[in-house]
Structure 1
Amino acid sequence: MDFTKALSERILVCDGAMGTMLHAAGNSLDRALPELNLSNPELVSTVHESYVGAGVDILLTNTFGANRLRLAEHGSSLNVRDINLAGVRLARQARRGVDRTIFVGGSVSPAVSASQRQSVRADERVEVIRDQVRALVDGGVDLLVLETFGYLDELVEAVAVTAELTDLPILAQATFTAEGVTPGGESPREVASALAGQPVAALGANCTVGPQRMLTVVEELRRYSTLPISAQPNAGLPRRIGRRFEYSVEGDYFSQYARRYVEQGTSIVGGCCGTTPTHIRDIVAKLADLRPKQQRRPEPAPRRQVVQPEHGRLAQRLGQRRFVVAAQISPPAGGDAQEATELTAMLRKHGIDLVFVAARESARAQVSSVSLALHVEREVGAETIATLTTWDKTIMTLQADLLGVHAFGMRTVVCETGNPPLRGDYPNADGIWEVDSVGLIQLLAGLNDGRDCNGLTLATKTSFHIGARFNPGAEDRDAELARTRAKIAAGAQFLISRPVYEADALVGMLAELSNEDIPVLMAVSPLAGFAEAEYLAHEVPDVRIPRAALSALETAGDRGREVGLELARALLDEARPLVQGVVLVMRDGRKLADFLPLVEAPDSGQAL
């Protein structure tokens, strides 16, 4: 009998888990289970025959994951075609001598596991699916079952390549999390919409969730699709007992939900992880008196409201091409935020309402730059811009912090790799980085696109304005230029320099970056005297202090602060036509009065 005709006439029961049964027989889930088609065909046949005995209408081949990439991930070098042909042969043999129609479905998994997804191109995924489907078709399957697809783009790819190779019916099944979306973040409505009009005979869901959560998914798929619907949930959540996994959902409970699926319009019911022939036998009995429901017209998908992203003051002023004047403060050692709050309030009184909060490289107790920025903005009202460093933080921690500060209203972040503080007898002890500043920028850009660090879709997009540091005084100028360009390519939307003490290096680097069309803010920190200048010039890497400046400060004596301000003023006058703003870096122990001579009649922080 034709599969499509049978689908319209009766409820079809698919088999249950193959992996669970093979695991129960002593095979590790870490091995390539499809390889058993060749190494232990008797065991695979026994599983098939037990499902035939339970009364199934669809028998799936033991070929889930039987493609080149997934087999290689498990260390198997056996021939993909041989494994798939053997899988079809064993399933077809199991239905011999049975006096009812049993369809053999060729099981096809996503080309790659979630961990491989980022490193494998779409065209390679397509070729992997193509090779497996061709073998299954040549082996003689009655339909192709694309199952457990967590990413909609991969499911659409698999449908397209399968339809190119064969006219056999295609059952396309996505997998959904307990939140009701795929691991890729797509809703049942989006899955149904994407596959509407595609050459598929049925649409469904399998794996990941148990019977109750699957019911919600089935209802949504049915609401938005005219295709026959399939449902193959897990037998609840697994628990580990020794080296084995066991599932606790009994067949009676499972079959009750199977009946509810059919009552909601489902046409194919079966089981996934944890289900056994006992579960399937109970389903067959529970559905014996039911027939397929007439297809309904799907409901129109609701239109999404497009929300324009919010932008902070810095992004607005740069967009308006207004010269920006900002200040940079550091978290005070000891954890007291009051000093920073008072300083920011004084800055605002003098017209500076954009404040960068640097990350302090100290082993002493201190408020984090992000927490301080949020506190100061709430207390004072100035826009604060946190510097976020990546050292000793996992990407998951960084992501959680970013989503948190975005929820609190922070919109601008400066990305740095950062350096761990030097401690004790091991001054060169390194930190642990999962990503550097380039990776952090990529993370922010992804969040702005509505994707998390794993490429999964978020409930909403963030609207971060992404900044990055660059150092005009770097000893290796070419390496610094290459790294700065990498930050821009990753998604940086503005640059802020390390403190600049001479114009030539800045002018040269800005000339090299002129084709990047990105706003640049220059950080300026007036020198307090010769001692500071000498220390920076000789003991701090990648800082350039001109000889003329060192000489002027050395001869200035008690007038060191005054001369330092004069040098900073001259630098600003020279650099102003080349940059879009200036950031006054307020170092420890400096008073606001040390910086005010650099500000002339400020107009909301915009004039110098």
Structure 2
Amino acid sequence: MKDFREFLKEKEVILFDGATGTELLNRGYPQDKPIEYANILNPELVISIHREYIEAGAECIETNTFGANELKLRSWGYENLVEKINKMGIKLAKEASNKNIYVFASIGPIGKPIGKGFEIDEKKAIDIYKRQIISILEEDPDGLILETMSSTKEVEIILRLLDNLSVKIPLIVQFSFFKDMSTVLGEDIHRVIEFLKGIDVDIVGLNCGNGPLQTLEILKIFAQHLKEPFSVQPNAGYPQFIQGRLVYNTGETYFASFVKEYIRYGAKVIGGCCGTTPRHIAFIKKETKRDLLVEIETETIHEKEIEIKKKDTPSRLSRKLGKEFLVSVEISPPKGIELEKVKEGVKLLKMAGIDAVNIPDSPMARVRISSIALAHILKEELDIESILHFTCRDRNLIGIQSELLGASALGIKNILALTGDPPSIGDHPQAKPVFDVNSEGLVLILNKLNNGIDYMGNPIGLATNFTIGVAVNPNTDNPEQEIGKLKRKIENGVNFIETQPIYDKESLERFLERIEFKLPPVLAGILPLRSSRHAEFLHNEVPGISIPKNIRERIKESKDPKREGIEIAIELIESIKNIVNGICLILPFERYDVVAEIIMGFSR
């Protein structure tokens, strides 16, 4: 059998196979197992599907290895079978091909965003793909096909890895788009096209995401901007969820009716994706035997204008940072919708002279009213700005950006970027965490929105103007690690820092002296003590809080510990005024009057 690249030059159209996953499910493969595990669980079924596609006319078949990477298999508990599943996938396809059909190893996306501040950074992604690709290469496939890709970053990582491994076999790269011409991770089609212009592969193309008609519309855009040949592998239309299964209803005749136009717009590799069957491929085969017009017709397709408009107006707090000694108070959002107590408390704090209130985001993973809603109500009714605590626990990458844009539209412009407490410690321990990003990644997202683009680089119109804060723990047992994390956050773009509660000037000074890079304005966390038991609880049971022995003894020996706690807080604030740019007082037991007294008790 000749080299695939020679075959590609000679042939007008090359027919690939259709779906493997949906075919396995249609033939009784269990839904509670990963599709790729069929290579081990039921190899005869996999071989039979390959052979039916070959009998239908497929000249190339893809291996059942699309999701056989460590990360995806781990969710099923099969991460130790990466090598076995991938090798078996190649072996089964080769057995079915009988050395007369080209075997392309299918490689799909990891399924999560990649980059600094995400669960999967570049190094982890490289390790995950390297493990899969090396297993595949050991079985000598005729080519590789990267399919259903949604991130140019991910493809770039794979291509770099292949280059480092000196892989020279044929390579196809296919992206998947929604109807709005963006990928599942939000990359605009023109951004993808610009990326594809700069890579050196045998074929670029489209698969999954759409049925045959929408795939044609996207192919037309490819044809205007990129050099052929292209590949197209549409779904059999859009699925319905019937009796617990996805069902695709696009018939073979309709599906194959697009072949002529696919070829007209430069497609040389044609096959199918989700929901397609050997019958779809057989009907495509019939169409390819006809005399087809291959002259490309071009259409005028206007690229989206990428225009970054001017920024939104800044917050009042941002104008004061580094210029005035700021005072914020962290309040407790209620669990229900009764807000009168909060409003009355914030009125008292405003009279005492605060600059903002900090509003936690379901702190300690316990259900509370939406911090965005509460921030908006306080702004509208009391004209007080908030520092919104925003966590990564409950929102995926799309939800994070959507809610941040919503907050900005409501005039909430000060954000404290936090990773968030895991649900396991809260009042709904069965809830599933998200954590698509951590606080470092959240800072990066905020800065991109401030530059008029979303995380994937797509324009959002009017740029946001968030003032971005992060937390740091001066009491940590591992200051070097804490400082390293802080440095990475600052590199992503930070406007201010809030510390965990401190109880002595010296520990804060020692921590700050360790830092060798320039810091933005720092607000020191102050949590007033209410009793000896309160102090001992914080010191012994709350991570990140350390209270010196002399402070604990002082409040223990006091005849009026509540008053002593207020005096300790005022003295501490007076002692650190010259080394920080403000304070964030944390409301103890919803005692607004205590905090108001502290604010009025020190000189600003």
Residues 1:520 and 2:522 aligned together: yes
C-alpha deviation, 1:403, in angstroms: 5.4
Amino acid of the structure 1 residue aligned with 2:293: R
Q: 2:97 aligns with which of 76, 80, 91?
A: 91
Give the TM-score of the pair, scaled to structure 2: 0.73
Output aligned runs, 1:185-584, within 5 Å.
Answer: 185-238=186-239, 246-286=247-287, 288-294=290-296, 304-306=306-308, 312-318=315-321, 320-331=322-333, 335-341=337-343, 344=346, 352-357=354-359, 367-388=369-390, 399=400, 402=404, 404-414=406-416, 415=418, 417=420, 431=429, 441-442=439-440, 444-448=442-446, 457=456, 464-469=466-471, 477-479=475-477, 481=479, 484-485=482-483, 488=486, 491=489, 493=494, 494-498=496-500, 500=502, 502-512=504-514, 517-524=519-526, 532-534=530-532, 536-538=534-536, 540-541=538-539, 542-543=546-547, 546=551, 550=555, 554=559, 568-584=569-585
- Which residue number in structure 1 is paired with residue 107 of structure 2? 109
Is the contact made by 1:14 and 1:59 (CA closer than 8 Å) also made in structure 2?
A: yes
C-alpha deviation, 1:23, in angstroms: 4.4
C-alpha deviation, 1:383, in angstroms: 1.8
Is the contact made by 1:207 and 1:272 (CA closer than 8 Å) also made in structure 2?
A: yes
| 1:165-199 deviation digits (Å, cap 9, x = unpaired) | 56665332122345432333323322322122433
Task: Report the Cα distance in structure 2 between the residues aligned to 1:365 and 1:591, rounded to whole angstroms.
Answer: 25
Q: 1:483 to 1:55 in 2, by over 3 A?
A: closer
Q: 1:598 to 1:84 in 2, by over 3 A?
A: same
C-alpha deviation, 1:253, in angstroms: 2.3
Task: Report the Cα distance in structure 2 between the residues aligned to 1:357 and 1:543, rounded to whole angstroms.
Answer: 24
- Which residue number in structure 1 is paired with residue 172 of structure 2? 171
| 1:352-383 deviation digits (Å, cap 9, x = unpaired) | 43232357879999744442222111223332
- Which residue number in structure 2 is paired with residue 184 of structure 1? 185
Structure 2 stretches lacking a partner, 5+ long:
540-545
> RMSD of aligned C-alpha atoms?
5.0
Amino acid of the structure 1 residue aligned with 2:133: I
C-alpha deviation, 1:230, in angstroms: 1.9
Mean alpha-carbon deviation: is it higher for 516-525 or for 239-248?
239-248
Amino acid of the structure 2 residue aligned with 1:149: M
Task: Report the Cα distance in structure 2 between the residues aligned to 1:276 and 1:553, rounded to whole angstroms.
Answer: 81
SS in 2 for 1:121: helix
Is the contact made by 2:178 and 2:210 (CA closer than 8 Å) also made in structure 1?
A: yes
Q: Percent identity between the aligned chains? A: 23
Task: Report the Cα distance in structure 1 between the residues aligned to 2:455 and 2:470, rounded to whole angstroms.
Answer: 25
Task: Report the Cα distance in structure 2 between the residues aligned to 1:147 and 1:362, rounded to whole angstroms.
Answer: 41
Give the TM-score of the pair, scaled to structure 1: 0.73
Is the contact made by 2:473 and 2:500 (CA closer than 8 Å) also made in structure 1?
A: yes
Q: Aligned residues, how many?
A: 565
| 1:80-107 deviation digits (Å, cap 9, x = unpaired) | 5575355335325456xxxxxxxx2523
Q: 1:223 to 1:338 in 2, by over 3 A?
A: farther
Task: Report the Cα distance in structure 2 between the residues aligned to 1:362 and 1:85, rounded to whole angstroms.
Answer: 50
| 1:401-457 deviation digits (Å, cap 9, x = unpaired) | 5554344332323348569999xxxxx989568669997524523533669xxx984
Task: Report the Cα distance in structure 2 between the residues aligned to 1:516 and 1:286, rounded to whole angstroms.
Answer: 67
Residues 1:590 and 2:596 aligned together: no
Is the contact made by 2:236 and 2:273 (CA closer than 8 Å) also made in structure 1?
A: yes
Task: Report the Cα distance in structure 1 between the residues aligned to 2:21 and 2:556, rounded to whole angstroms.
Answer: 78
Is the contact made by 1:470 and 1:484 (CA closer than 8 Å) also made in structure 2?
A: yes
Amino acid of the structure 2 residue aligned with 1:225: L
SS in 2 for 1:107: strand
Is the contact made by 1:536 and 1:543 (CA closer than 8 Å) also made in structure 2?
A: no
C-alpha deviation, 1:114, in angstroms: 5.0
Task: Report the Cα distance in structure 2 between the residues aligned to 1:362 and 1:145, rounded to whole angstroms.
Answer: 45
- Which residue number in structure 1 is paired with residue 543 of structure 2? none
Is the contact made by 1:189 and 1:221 (CA closer than 8 Å) also made in structure 2?
A: no
SS in 2 for 1:479: coil
C-alpha deviation, 1:203, in angstroms: 1.4
Q: 1:8 to 1:456 in 2, by over 3 A?
A: farther
Is the contact made by 1:48 and 1:94 (CA closer than 8 Å) also made in structure 2?
A: no
Task: Report the Cα distance in structure 2 between the residues aligned to 1:364 and 1:6, rounded to whole angstroms.
Answer: 59
Is the contact made by 1:235 and 1:248 (CA closer than 8 Å) also made in structure 2?
A: yes
C-alpha deviation, 1:570, in angstroms: 3.9
C-alpha deviation, 1:254, in angstroms: 1.5
Is the contact made by 1:224 and 1:298 (CA closer than 8 Å) also made in structure 2?
A: no
Structure 1 stretches lacking a partner, 5+ long:
96-103, 423-427, 601-607
- Which residue number in structure 1 is paired with residue 542 of structure 2? none
Task: Report the Cα distance in structure 2 between the residues aligned to 1:19 and 1:54, rounded to whole angstroms.
Answer: 18
Output aligned runs, 1:33-44, within 5 Å.
Answer: 33=36, 36=39, 40=43
Task: Report the Cα distance in structure 1 between the residues aligned to 2:251 and 2:161, rounded to whole angstroms.
Answer: 38
SS in 2 for 1:577: coil
Is the contact made by 1:85 and 1:136 (CA closer than 8 Å) also made in structure 2?
A: no
Larger Rg: 1
Is the contact made by 2:265 and 2:297 (CA closer than 8 Å) also made in structure 1?
A: no
Amino acid of the structure 2 residue aligned with 1:324: L
| 1:323-351 deviation digits (Å, cap 9, x = unpaired) | 32334444468744345445545655675
Task: Report the Cα distance in structure 1 between the residues aligned to 2:127 and 2:594, rounded to whole angstroms.
Answer: 60
Q: 1:290 to 1:306 in 2, by over 3 A?
A: same
Q: 1:510 to 1:434 in 2, by over 3 A?
A: farther
Q: 1:257 to 1:316 in 2, by over 3 A?
A: farther
C-alpha deviation, 1:539, in angstroms: 5.3
